[in-house]
Amino acid sequence: MSNILHVNLSSIGYLLDVPSTLSKPSKRWHLAFATIYCSRALHSLLNNPLSKNKTRKLLLSAPPFVVLDVEPQSGVLDIDQTSLTSLVKEKNLDQLIQLRGAEGVAEALKSNTKNGINGAVKDVARRKEEFGSNTYQRPPTKSIFHFVAEAFKDLTILVLLACATLSLGFGIKENGAKEGWYDGGSILVAVFLVISVSAVSNFRQNRQFDKLSEVSNNIQVDVVRQGRRQQISIFEIVVGDVVFLKIGDQVPADGLFLDGHSLQVDESSMTGESDYVEVNTSLNPFLFSGTKVADGYAQMLVTSVGMNTTWGEMMSTISLDPNEQTPLQARLDKLTSSIGKVGLAVAFLVLVVLLVRYFTGNTEDGNGNHEFNGSKTKSDGIMNAVVRIIAAAVTIVVVAIPEGLPLAVTLTLAYSMKRMMADQAMVRKLSACETMGSATTICTDKTGTLTLNEMKVTTFWLGQESIEDSSSISTNLLKLIQQGVALNTTGCIYREPSLYKFEFSGSPTEKAILSWAVLELGMDMERVKDNYSILHVEAFNSEKKRSGILIRKKAESTIHVHWKGAAEMILAMCSSYYDASGSMKDMDDGDRMTFEQIIQGMAAGSLRCIAFAHRQIPEEEHEIGEGLEKLKEDSLTLIALVGIKDPCRPGVRKAVEDCQHAGVNVKMITGDNVFTARAIATECGILRPDQSINSGAVVEGEVFRNYTPEERMEKVDKICVMARSSPFDKLLMVQCLKQKGHVVAVTGDGTNDAPALKEADIGLSMGIQGTEVAKESSDIIILDDNFASVATVLRWGRCVYNNIQKFIQFQLTVNVAALVINFVAAASAGEVPLTAVQLLWVNLIMDTLGALALATERPTKDLLAKPPVGRTEPLITNTMWRNLLAQALYQVLVLLILQFNGEYIFGVNKKVKDTLIFNTFVLCQVFNEFNARELERKNVFQGIHKNKLFLGIIGITIVLQVVMVECLKRFADTERLDWVQWGACIGVAAASWPIGWVVKFIPVSEKPFLDYLKW
C-alpha cells in the first residue's frame, strides 16, 4: 500500500510541476488534468479493500487539507515591463482597451484599484526585482582627483611649481642630490600641501551637495496598500501602487488615471508646453513622472518607475550644481580681484628691486661674498638666483591674493546649511543663506506656521442655534450634512477591521471635519458613497476658498449640489437656510445679518468658520446630468456652520518678538476672515491689542488689490495683517515692499503661492503642508512648518554674513602686514625676510585653518540685537577698517624693528633673526584670530569654550608652528629658538589682545571709509 501511495504522490508531484514554457491556455489544461488525476488517486486509496484500516490510519494522520502553491515560474505578474512602458509613453489607447482599461492592467499587476497592492515586504521586493525601483542613476560623483586637477589650474600655483622645479634642478646640479633638493623640494611640498587642503575642502562640499540633493528629492507620497492610505517615500513606490494626487503634487511615476475629478496636469517640464493637459478616463488617462498637478485630484495606478520613465532617463543626466555663485561670493570676487591687483603691483616692484640689486652686485651669499660678479659668475648660479627671486615674488602674490575668501564663504555656507538642517530648515539655494541676514520684512502664512495645524471642530450651528447634542438633529438634515461631508472631500477614512479605531487622512481641515462627522454624527462614509454617484467636482483652491460637488442619488435619480468653504463666501451664495428642526426658511436681511454676527463671533474666538450649503436641481434644469460643467452657485440653502479651532504654536510669540527686536517687520497674510486673522495676529504678537480693524494695520486682500498704486505704496508699511487674501494679493504686497527697498522673505505652501515665493528675495516653503510646486519655487524649506524656524533661519543668515566679515578682517590684516614687510625689506635690504615656503605656510594658516576657525562660529543672541544689513552697505565696514589697520600697523612696526635691529636686540645671527620674524608673524596671526571673533564687542573670549573647533584649530596651528621652527630646519629654512626667544615671540604677539581692546574704544564715522578716498 505504501508503495502504491508513493507512486501516486510521485505522479502528483510530477503533474503539479507546471512547465514555464507553456502558454496560458495550456497551463490551465495542465492544471485541470492534474486536479482530476489527484482526485481519482485519492479516491482509489479510500476505496482499496485490501488494507482499509492502514489507508484510513495513514490518511487520518495527515492534515485534513492540502495546500497547493502553483505559481508560474516565468514571472510574478501577468504583464511585462516593456508593454507597460510603451503603453504610457506612446499614449496607446488601443492597447489599453485591449487590456480592458486601467482595471485590466491593475488585475494583471495583481493590484486592486481601490485597495492597492498587498504591500507585504515580499510583495514589494518582488515588484522591485521585476520592474525596478523608483530611483534613477545619477551622474558619477566627482572624485577628489577632479578637485586636485582643478586646483592645479590656478596660474600662481603653476608658476610656483615651475619655479620649484627649476630650483630643484639647479640646486641638485650645483650642490648634489643630497643637499641641493631642499629649496625646490620644500616649495613643492608646501604647494602640494596647499593644493591637497583646497581639494579636500571642495570635495567635502560637493559630497554635502549630493546629500542635499537626495534629501530634497525624497518626496512623501500618499498611496493605498491593503486598503490603508499611508505616506511613503517616492523612492519606495513600486509598479501596481495606487497613488493619491492633489493640487501641487508631483506625479511620482508613470501611470494610468483610475478615478478623480477636474484633473489638470502641467507637463511643461516634459514637453515645454505651458498649457495644462486635462487627464480623464476616456480620452487621456496617461500620467507622466515629474509633471505637476495644476488642478483637481485623482488616484493613479503606477505602471513604470525609475529608469523606465522618461523623467528618470532625463534626471539621470542632470546633477545639482554646487558651483552656484551667491551675491556675497560675487562681491568677494571683486574684493579678491582688487587686493590681487595691489599684490601683483607689490610683487612686481619686489621682483624689479631684487633683480636690479642682484645684477648690480648688491647681494651677498651666506659667506658674505657677492652673489653676482659679472662674467665670473656661472650661468647655473645666475639662473638659480633668478629662479629664487621669481619664486619669492610669486609667493608674495600667493599671499597677497586672498584665495581664502571664497573658501571661507564656501565653508561657512556649507557649515550653516548642515546646522540649519538640524534646526529644521533645508537650504535649496545657497544665496538664501546670506540674503536672509539682510531681510527687513517677513510675510508669513497663518495656518500651520503661526498655528499648530492640529484642527478640531469645537462649535456647530444649525440655523441660528448652537448645537451641543448631535442626537437632536433631524434625520433629513443629518443626511444632508453627511452627504456634504462624505462626498465633498479629498480626505478618506481607514478603519482597522479588528479595532473600533479610525484613521483620517487629508488636509488638516478635512481631517477635522471627517473626524467630527464620524465620531459625533455617526457618519458611515462608505455607505453614503455607495448610495450616490459623483457627476462633477469643483476642487478647492486658495482663490475660490470653496469646493463643490454635483451628485445623483442612485435609487431616486435626484440630483444635488453641495458646497463647502469659507463661511461668509458660502453665505453670500445662499437665499434660504435650514433651522435646527430641519425646516427650510427664506433668508431675509435680518437673518443674513444674524448669520454674519455668528460668523464674526466665531472668528473673534480664533475659530476658522466653515459653512455647508445645498441645492436640489430640478429635472427640467438638468436633463443630462453628466453634461453640466458649472455647478449652481446661487439660491443655495445653508445647512450648517462649524467652527474649527487651530491653536497657536507654543513659542511663536517669542519668535515674532525676536524678529521685531531685530528690526524685521512681521506681516501675516492669510485666507481667513478679518476677525479670525486679527484674533490670531494679536495672540501671536504681530498686532498690539489696541490696534483695531479700522486702524490701517488690518486690511482685506480685495481692499488692498483695489488701492491705487500710490495708495498701496503709502500704506504697505503700516499693514500688519492681510485677511481673505488671494495668492495674487500676496504677490502684489511682495512687489510693493521690494519697490520700497525692503528685503522680503515670504512663506508659502500652496501651488498658487509659487509666484510670490519666486518674486521674494527669500522664498520659504513649508515641508509638511507645502506642495511640491511651492517647494521647487522656494529657496529654503521649513521642515517643521514652524515660524520659530523662520526666526532661526534669520539668525543663521546674519551669522553667515558676520562670519564672513570676521574672516575678511583677519585675512586683510595678514595681507597688509605681509605685503608691507616684504616690500620694505626688499627695497632696503635687497631680500625678503620670509621665504617662499614660510609664506606658503602663512597662506595655509590664513586660507584654510583660519577660514575653518572663523567661518564655523554659531549664531548668538546678539546678532538679533542689530538692525538688518542693507543691500548697499559696504562689506568692509568702518569698524573692520579700524580693527584691521590697527593690528596691521602694529605687526608691520614690530616686524620692521626685528628686520633692522633684531640681530642687535637679541644678539643673534641673520638666520636666527629671520626665524624670529617668521615665528612672530605667525604667532601674531594666531592671537589676532581671537580678536577677529568679535568685530565690536570688547570681550573676545565670550562663549569661546563652546566652539571646540576654533580651539582645536588654534592648538593644531601652534603645534605645527613649533614643528616648523624646531624640527623642519632644512624644509622651512629656520633655526631652533631657545626659551627666551620663544617667550619674546609670544609676548610680542600677545600684545595684539590689549591693542585690540583699546582700539575698540575709538568711535567710527557713519560714512563708509572708502567714500573718503573718492574725489
Name which of 95, 165, 133 is nearest 233 in CA terms.
133
Name which of 822, 820, 914, 831 is nearest 385 in CA terms.
831
Cα distance between residue 841 and residue 984, in whole Å? 21
673: exposed, middle or buried (Cβ count in 10 Å: 0-12, 13-18, 19+): buried
Name which of 704, 703, 697, 694 is nearest 721 in CA terms.
697
- Cell (9 digits) for 302: 503606477
Catalytic residue among 445, 779, 847, 914: 445
- Cell (9 digits) for 292: 505637476
Name which of 796, 792, 859 is nearest 424 in CA terms.
792
H-helix segments, 142-256: 144-151, 155-180, 182-217
Residue 617, beta-bridge partner list: 559
H-helix segments, 267-403: 268-271, 310-315, 327-359, 379-400
What single letter denotes the amino acid at residue 584?
M
Cα distance between residue 269 and residue 266, in whole Å? 8
Cα distance between residue 338 and residue 340, in whole Å? 5
What lies within 8 Å, CB to CB, of 272 at 6+ separation is: none
445 is an active site residue: yes
Helix (H) or strand (E) holding 593: helix 589-604
* Cα–chain center distance at 48: 76
Name which of 275, 221, 2, 223 is nearest 113 in CA terms.
223
Q: What is the DSSP letter of 626?
A: G
| Structure-derived torsion over alpha carbons of residues 977, 983, 987, 989, reported in degrees to the nearest 10 | 30
- Cell (9 digits) for 422: 538640524
Residue 905, φ and ψ in degrees, nearest 5: -65, -45
Residue 232, beta-bridge partner list: 221
* Cα–chain center distance at 44: 72
Cα distance between residue 125 and residue 236, in whole Å? 10
Beta strands in 514-573 (DSSP E): 532-538, 546-553, 559-566
Cα distance between residue 117 and residue 111, in whole Å? 5
215-224 contacts, C-beta under 8 A, 24 or more apart? 215/421, 215/426, 216/426, 216/428, 216/775, 216/781, 219/250, 219/252, 219/772, 221/249, 221/252, 222/505, 223/116, 224/114, 224/115, 224/116, 224/299
Strands 636-645 and 744-748: unpaired
CA–CA distance from 416 to each of 380, 794, 948 (Å)? 53, 12, 16
Contact of 172 with 182, CB cutoff 8 Å: no
Cα distance between residue 908 and residue 408, in whole Å? 39
Query: Computed from CA positions of residues 993, 998, 1003, 1005, in that sequence, does the dihedral angle turn out positive or negative?
Result: negative
Cα distance between residue 145 and residue 153, in whole Å? 13
Q: What is the DSSP letter of 363?
A: -
What is the SS3 assignment for 61?
Answer: helix
The residues assigned a catalytic role are: 445
